Amino acid sequence: MTIGTARQRTERLVKLRDMKGLGPKSESQLKAVGIDTPAVLGDVGAVEAFRRLAELGDATPSLNFLYAMVGALEDRHWAEIAREERERLLNELEGYRELDALFVDDA
């Protein structure tokens, strides 16, 4: 399935729990950070959603949750994401952390 096809499928879904690899607990956690539909998750992106969850402070989300969100957006299993895109996702997270540190240092 191409990313374009996965995006069309995501836009048709109404509930986050209907996405591949996400369930009621994931849906509840995402709603707590303002992500209440598959379309909103697609707009925000998995990495930004993960950052929002981490900033919430209740509990640090696992990397498996990040992989699950990417998998849900692309209609792929989270283990496939972990195997094939782990390094890219970790680099993207690290880039955000470095930007956050710059803003904190400037404040």
Q: Note the pLDDT tens digit of each residue in 36-87.
A: 999 999 999 999 999 999 988 777 899 999 999 999 999 999 999 999 999 9
pLDDT of the residue at 56: 87
**Position 8 pLDDT exceeds 90:** no
Q: Whole-prediction pTM value? A: 0.80
pLDDT of the residue at 77: 95
Average pLDDT rounded to a whole number, residues 4-11: 58
* Cα–Cα distances in angstroms (integers) from residue 16 to residues 34, 35, 62, in the given order: 12, 9, 18
pLDDT of the residue at 107: 55
Q: How far is residue 79 CA from its own chain's centroid?
A: 14
Mean of all residue pLDDT scores within the chain: 87
Structural tokens at position 82: 């972990």
Can you list the domains of the chain with their CATH numbers? 3-106 (1.10.150.20)
